[in-house]
Structure 1
């Protein structure tokens, strides 16, 4: 056997490059975001974005935007963020809540201007914004049947995304991993967390370092959510003592599924008293879009299903939608959950101005910068879409929360206390109903020497927290306080 020849330097350079590719994955190289239209400064940390294909045969691709922690990326938690709807993009959280930038509306057709957000959750965590399910935001499928989905399928698809994402970014596998979200993500989060834990127990690789979940103003349970509004409205001074007494006597505490005509009549009076308020924050004015008025009538069948030859629509409106439909006291129930555009025959969400996000995310240069497909492929970005038909098929979330916490995983349930969409009264009641022993009695929590809300801690690491004066999307209304409790909870400090 002859002596080995000395290798040229470029050979070893090539070997090192290949090893780096294997160890770090391809995505960090191809998914790096280097600039964003509207922002002229330097990113405080690295940003990555793009697609993860979760079903090759269908061409089903989920879109994500990841902001690396500005503190200690190799050790800080990885947090997956989900907005709700169903049908609403997680760029809602990125643009309006806890993303790395604050957005300022442009003038005379200019793009919005971006400024660094001092209260971004990326200050202390690596955060992934995921558009889920397929058909929402920039996520899409080449097979339109994938746009008929529900809780269980969405959880399964999101779990497939997570596993593939960590294969692309293995350097984050040892970091603590959390799942978080708000509104209808009160369903997305615990169902996905359950899939993750089931995968860990089953030895599915990569093995995730999952630690817990957090839900803000989240849809949870038909009975608790459905009975939350009337006590909330009375406590906030939105209905009279006399009406509250009458409706309490006639309905016997059953407001979400009235069986008596007299009860129903009194509930209609409640609806009438509160119908002009901003359902997301009763302290804030209701934004009215300058367009023809919309009406509640029939659910608009998505055009994608008309193309498939579906004939079972339009669907009669079930006058409910996870506590934010009409009437407002209606909870989410098993079956079809209409998205806002389907419910109102409109592209808008009540009281919500999404012009900044819509103009920015539909700009061709922005889509190119964040590696989103063209509109001809992925569709127009919308805050909430009518492309999907979504079914609530997972039942109450209480059993999910109980199973997860009894397995040792941490859970933070937080509520903006002026939200009428998913009132805190329901979240407070269901967390108490779990039956865990109270280990931290109801008390105020503080930020900047002021009462920022109230907190109650239960055994098995279940915590309920309110944020004083906040609406439905807590980090949007109270960004400083939100970063404070988020930081304390993630690091295991007392809130």
Structure 2
């Protein structure tokens, strides 16, 4: 009965989902519009709102005996011959009373898996899949072929240098679920708590990773998820007798962390990349105040609408990429990335034999659950104070940016860093990859900023080699120079 109820709720919610980055679909913008409409001058987020409570209640820890062995994937349908690393997937219960469980996929490192670090990857949305987008489209070991049934190697997969854990969070995203329908209306704080509970339980299931160096990476709205989870880990490491998580660093990719810089940076990027006219840009500059608590005027709204109309059908997750269409093959992507990839992933992850091999419940998988994003309860205006706390904690904090992304562009990341007011230690310089500029880097006090040249919002999709080079430098704690 519980399973039938779950399937009914899950299906009813997923009626409202769409493909992450699909033509004309933008889950982050949909969520932001709703949040902006809720804010008033007298009711806006403060630093206290984005700092997870210091009080500690021991988290739920369920029995894990035998579950690691049960989660081992014998073989993914259509995987290439010669797959020689262990992979696991399944569910970790984070609330037994509600029946709330988060789905994960774990790819152990191709070499040195017993010593390489453990890395958690999170996609954003809010409401988008870290497995479908992160693992199958970006940095995982496989890519789905155009037939929707077979896989090919991603030779630049991040499990070349780390053991990579992909988490579908919060419940309702991808294969993750709850038997309590109200759980699908959630927020930043609950998502951080559930992700922390997931990690504590997962490390009981995989105890050999308990003392391993641990990093968190991700992109987009994970610019909220990652700092808040990292802060919670550091707080609980001090005050709990449960597992101490050996957090060493975080890397935020094309990250939404501050609403003012997101707006200002996006429209400045549109203008400097010839997407909007001088007149529209000047109208936004003259009529819009994006600071916290400011009133958004009708004139500002009008110019913003003009900007989006002028953008037309440019795919602003990667402004130079072709759209997925019958004519896509005649206009190849500069990066070689197939713009129809998400269609192949959708077909593959909704194949019953694939879901069985993943130990996933039989549901209609979608890359994004729009219900979650539009019903998000609490979206702090900024998490920059949390990032400042993390910088002061001594862990490694990196911000990286694909420079052809118009959704959370490189201008936004630079404006974020300006607000952090941290001094430069190593001035801006180009880093090299295979004899060409891979991007640019600045070393700040307690912060590193890296660009990846020619990459859009989903950096490892568009520039997989440069992304792996950057990621390797991040793990080594060294500024990228030459790869």
Instruction: Please report the TM-score for the alignment, with normalisation by the length of structure 1.
Output: 0.77
Residues 145-160 of structure 1 mapped to structure 2, 5 A cutoff: 145-160=182-197
- Closer/same/farther in 2, CA of residues 440 and 53 from structure 1, 3 Å limit: same
Match of 2:386 among 384, 400, 404: 400
Question: What RMSD, in angstroms, separates the aligned Cα atoms of the two structures?
Answer: 2.3
- Closer/same/farther in 2, CA of residues 283 and 168 from structure 1, 3 Å limit: same
Match of 2:77 among 19, 37, 54: 37
- Closer/same/farther in 2, CA of residues 391 and 272 from structure 1, 3 Å limit: same
Could you tell me how far apart the structure 2 residues matched to 1:252 and 1:114 are? 48
2:454 corresponding residue in structure 1 = 469
Structure 2 residue 317 is matched with structure 1 residue 280:
yes
Match of 2:213 among 141, 166, 176: 176
Could you tell me how far apart the structure 2 residues matched to 1:273 and 1:256 are? 28
Could you tell me how far apart the structure 2 residues matched to 1:393 and 1:80 are? 22
8 A contact 1:85–1:384 mirrored in 2 = yes
Structure 2 residue 369 is matched with structure 1 residue 385:
yes
Q: SS at 2:274's partner residue?
A: coil
Could you tell me how far apart the structure 2 residues matched to 1:397 and 1:252 are? 19
Structure 2 residue 441 is matched with structure 1 residue 455:
yes
2:469 corresponding residue in structure 1 = 484
2:348 corresponding residue in structure 1 = 360
- Closer/same/farther in 2, CA of residues 260 and 360 from structure 1, 3 Å limit: closer
Query: Structure 2 unaligned runs (5+)?
Result: 1-63, 328-338
Match of 1:51 among 80, 83, 91: 91
1:440 corresponding residue in structure 2 = 426
Point out which structure has higher relative CO (alpha carbons under 8 A, 6+ apart). 2
8 A contact 1:27–1:169 mirrored in 2 = no
Match of 2:234 among 161, 185, 197: 197
> How far has the Cα of 1:261 moved from its partner?
4.7
Q: SS at 2:177's partner residue?
A: coil
1:307 corresponding residue in structure 2 = none
> How far has the Cα of 1:241 moved from its partner?
3.6
8 A contact 2:259–2:290 mirrored in 1 = no
> How far has the Cα of 1:258 moved from its partner?
6.5
Could you tell me how far apart the structure 1 residues matched to 2:410 and 2:369 are? 27
> How far has the Cα of 1:237 moved from its partner?
2.0
User: How big is each residue's C-alpha offset from its partner over 1:405-435, in whole Å with a ceiling of 9 and x where there is no partner?
Assistant: 1010111111111111111111111112211
Q: SS at 1:391's partner residue?
A: coil
Structure 2 residue 162 is matched with structure 1 residue 125:
yes
- Closer/same/farther in 2, CA of residues 147 and 243 from structure 1, 3 Å limit: closer
Could you tell me how far apart the structure 2 residues matched to 1:150 and 1:369 are? 31
Match of 2:176 among 139, 145, 151: 139
User: How big is each residue's C-alpha offset from its partner over 1:233-286, in whole Å with a ceiling of 9 and x where there is no partner?
Assistant: 121122334543454344478799675554444444322221321121110123
Query: Structure 1 unaligned runs (5+)?
Result: 1-23, 291-350
- Closer/same/farther in 2, CA of residues 176 and 248 from structure 1, 3 Å limit: same
> How far has the Cα of 1:42 moved from its partner?
2.7
Instruction: Please report the TM-score for the alignment, with normalisation by the length of structure 2.
Output: 0.79
Q: 238-247 or 36-45: which moved more?
A: 238-247
Larger radius of gyration: 1
Q: 155-164 or 442-451: which moved more?
A: 442-451
8 A contact 1:416–1:466 mirrored in 2 = yes
Could you tell me how far apart the structure 1 residues matched to 2:102 and 2:292 are? 38
Could you tell me how far apart the structure 2 residues matched to 1:260 and 1:386 are? 27
Structure (1 or 2) with the greater helix fraction: 2
- Closer/same/farther in 2, CA of residues 256 and 234 from structure 1, 3 Å limit: farther
